[in-house]
Amino acid sequence: MNYCYRICPDSNQEGTMLNWLEISRKVYNYGLREIKDWVFSRKCSLEHCSLEKEYIIPTNTPFPTYYNQQNALPKAKKEFPLLSEPPSQVLQTTIRRLHDAWDYFQKRGFGFPRFKKFGQIKSMLFPQFKSNPITGWQINLPKVGRMPINLHRPIPDGFIVKQVRVVKKAIRWEAIVTIESDVSIPDSRPHGDALGVDLGLEKFLTTSEKEFICRPRFLVSLHRKLKLLQRKYARTKKGSKNREKARIEVAKFHNHIASVRKDWQFKLANRLCTKQGIGMVFVEDLNLKAMSRGMLRKHTLDASFGQFLGLLEWG
């Protein structure tokens, strides 16, 4: 189970974590470069290889697996002392993220992993803690220290913190805390009255009690302002301070749209689940992936049916 909290690092801590994100990005790109070189060296014909486009790698060179690249980190730290700054487990989870993307590509047959540009790595994972990192209103992260955390929801008794993912969102930082407990939750049995729900684009939600709820057009209604901010960003010079300011404005506006949408869906899901006498909610089986690729894909993604169904199930 995951709880999301806002954290408030000081300027030194923020600079440290930003530096770690950039190091993680370089490690990700280096690992991907090794995989691409190995793959491309085996795409040539049997008789000859291209000396211009591909690297020549010996035939007995094994594929750079997750374990091979992870075991190469200690040796790389001696050659590049910069890799010793972040915790070792942060870099290991970065390599794990790369190979998860590679395995997903192998499974579905398309979507080859891409190199990450500056700022595209926005999260890092601390997978283990010797003791509870949250004490009072502070969280203690390895090599970063203690920082304030907005513990708006207390961690339930009997749960322990397994891992923490730190996420950079525009100008704010968030900590996604994964908690675990040995408590067994019994399966819920059917009880109360049943409520049927039908989702759509014309009406976001139609219930079996003849209740119609219109679909708020979160992105469409704010698209004009977003377009102006993106145009302002496109006109700035690469590498300039004004470009970074414009990028932050665009990111903040995207976060605003996502927050407004999620807040509305949370309230709607809570209202459906707390209706008097309602014990079960049934929703039609939708092919959301196919809907997001059709002519109305922009409106389908704006409605975010998948997120709403997750909130409804959680509620």
pLDDT given for residue 59 in this prediction: 77
Measured distance CA(99)–CA(69) in Å, rounded: 10
Q: How confident is the model at residue 20 (pLDDT cuts 50, 70, 90)?
A: very high
Tokens at residue 201, please? 């684009």
pLDDT given for residue 14 in this prediction: 93
pLDDT given for residue 49 in this prediction: 60
Average pLDDT taken over every residue of the chain: 88
Residue 191 clears pLDDT 60, i.e. is over it = yes
Q: How confident is the model at residue 229 (pLDDT cuts 50, 70, 90)?
A: very high
> What is the value of pTM for the model shown?
0.83
SS3 42: coil
Cβ atoms 28, 98 nearer than 8 A: yes
Q: How confident is the model at residue 314 (pLDDT cuts 50, 70, 90)?
A: confident
Give tens-digit pLDDT for 82-101: 999 999 999 999 999 999 99
Measured distance CA(51)–CA(95) in Å, rounded: 29
- Calculate mean pLDDT across residues 9-18: 94
Q: Which residue has the higher pLDDT, 234 or 181?
A: 234
pLDDT given for residue 93 in this prediction: 94
Q: Which of the residue ranges 10-24, 37-51, 183-197, 248-262 would you say has the lowest mean pLDDT?
A: 37-51
Residue 190 clears pLDDT 80, i.e. is over it = no
- Calculate mean pLDDT across residues 48-64: 72
pLDDT given for residue 186 in this prediction: 73
Tokens at residue 52, please? 């211009």
Tokens at residue 127, please? 């997978």
- Calculate mean pLDDT across residues 175-185: 85
| Angle at 219 (CA atoms; ends 216, 220), nearest 5 degrees | 80
Cβ atoms 70, 95 nearer than 8 A: yes
- Calculate mean pLDDT across residues 193-206: 85
pLDDT given for residue 47 in this prediction: 62
Give tens-digit pLDDT for 298-310: 888 888 888 888 8
Measured distance CA(226)–CA(260) in Å, rounded: 15
> Phi-psi category of 145—alpha, beta or left, where left has phi over 0 and alpha has psi -120 to 50?
left
- Calculate mean pLDDT across residues 73-80: 92
Tokens at residue 227, please? 């377009």
Tokens at residue 140, please? 């203690």
Q: Which residue has the higher pLDDT, 83 or 284?
A: 83
pLDDT given for residue 203 in this prediction: 87
Q: What percent of the chain has pLDDT over 70?
A: 96
Tokens at residue 261, please? 């949408």
pLDDT given for residue 46 in this prediction: 57
- Calculate mean pLDDT across residues 5-34: 94
Q: 188-197: string of b/e by CB count within 10 Å (b at 16+)?
A: eeeeeeebeb
